[in-house]
Structure 1
Amino acid sequence: MSIAISADKSMLDIPMIHRYLSEQSYWAKNIPLETVERSIENSLCFGVYSESRQVGFARVITDCATFAYLADVFVLPEYRKKGLSKQLLAFIREYPALQGLRRWMLGTADAHGLYRKFDFSGLAHPERLMEISVPNIYQQ
């Protein structure tokens, strides 16, 4: 299987990304297409391609100087267990614009083992972090 990973937004299959996020993800159920489009427009995005078909995605919300938040990481179900998520994360962690950052963050319910392989860990000082959380915002 020939795999390519790119940060070229013009290659992204936005309808597929929206379909996955709104129908299959646990974190963005029912997310509107307009919200996905705006999130892509304002993030550094990465597509995983097999033969010219997009089969994975991730985006990084960043200032490219001090901070990055990794979000919306997925590989389509039929392409899982082939090492694609590891290739995607390695590509992102080595991406030139994302070097020298002071902090990376992400949220996950079930992929802690994967992210630990790329130096993510539990919060060193959870008492310092706060959040505003609006669960199920897209289902209202």
Structure 2
Amino acid sequence: MKQDYFISKNKRLLNVEGIQQFIASSYWGKDRTLNEVKLSIENSYCFGIYTKDNEQIGFARVVTDYIYFGYFMDVIIFDKFQGKGYGKILIEAMLEDPTIKSLKTLALKTKDAQQLYERFGFDKIGDSALWMSVDKQILE
């Protein structure tokens, strides 16, 4: 895929209304309001992926303490861009981000994307059908 996109952490570029509509119709964010989405974006470390014409392709956010733990949430690719590899590109960029890369533990919940996240080193937590993590912290 030629580089026909860019990734930004600039929250002013986000299509908040589009993000809210997508999330509110998802299984994990059913009926989430615009105000709730705005507040969650305000309080998270966010990533957007865009076309060269600034149309938003996808979005993801990480709830983090910026030292030890990060929780991947609301990882989305808008319908018209799905199936083109943008989800993998976005997750890879998140994992390569210096702030995220320095975290000791990453976690997420997913009902239907375990295979995608396994490619990036996430493992199932216990016998949970939803929880996955990457744990770089060695406990002795």
Report matched runs for 1:54-69 at 5 Å. Answer: 54-69=56-71
Partner of 2:120: 118
**AA partner of residue 16 (structure 1):** G
Q: Deviations over 1:41-66 (max 9, x none)?
A: 00001111123100201000001100
**AA partner of residue 63 (structure 2):** I
**Length, aligned pairs only:** 126
Going from structure 1 to structure 2, the CA distance change for 1:11 and 1:62 (only over 3 Å counts) comes to same
Structure 2 gaps, min length 5: 132-140
- CA RMSD of superposed structures (Å): 1.7
Report matched runs for 1:72-83 at 5 Å. Answer: 72-83=74-85
Higher relative contact order (CA 8 A, sep 6+): 1
Higher helix share: 1
Partner of 1:133: none
SS of the residue corresponding to residue 71 of structure 2 reads strand
* TM-score normalised by structure 2 residue count: 0.85
**AA partner of residue 83 (structure 1):** G
* TM-score normalised by structure 1 residue count: 0.85
Structure 1 gaps, min length 5: 130-140
Q: Deviations over 1:75-110 (max 9, x none)?
A: 012111111001000100010111222211000000
Partner of 2:97: 95
Separation in structure 2 between the aligned mates of residue 10 and residue 120 of structure 1, nearest angstrom: 30
Residue 125 of structure 1 and its aligned partner are, at CA, apart by 8.6
Residue 32 of structure 1 and its aligned partner are, at CA, apart by 1.0
After the TM superposition, which segments of 4 or more aligned residues of structure 1 sit over 6 Å from their partners? Answer: none
Separation in structure 2 between the aligned mates of residue 18 and residue 75 of structure 1, nearest angstrom: 13
Partner of 1:26: 27
SS of the residue corresponding to residue 76 of structure 2 reads strand
Going from structure 1 to structure 2, the CA distance change for 1:125 and 1:64 (only over 3 Å counts) comes to farther
Partner of 1:3: 5
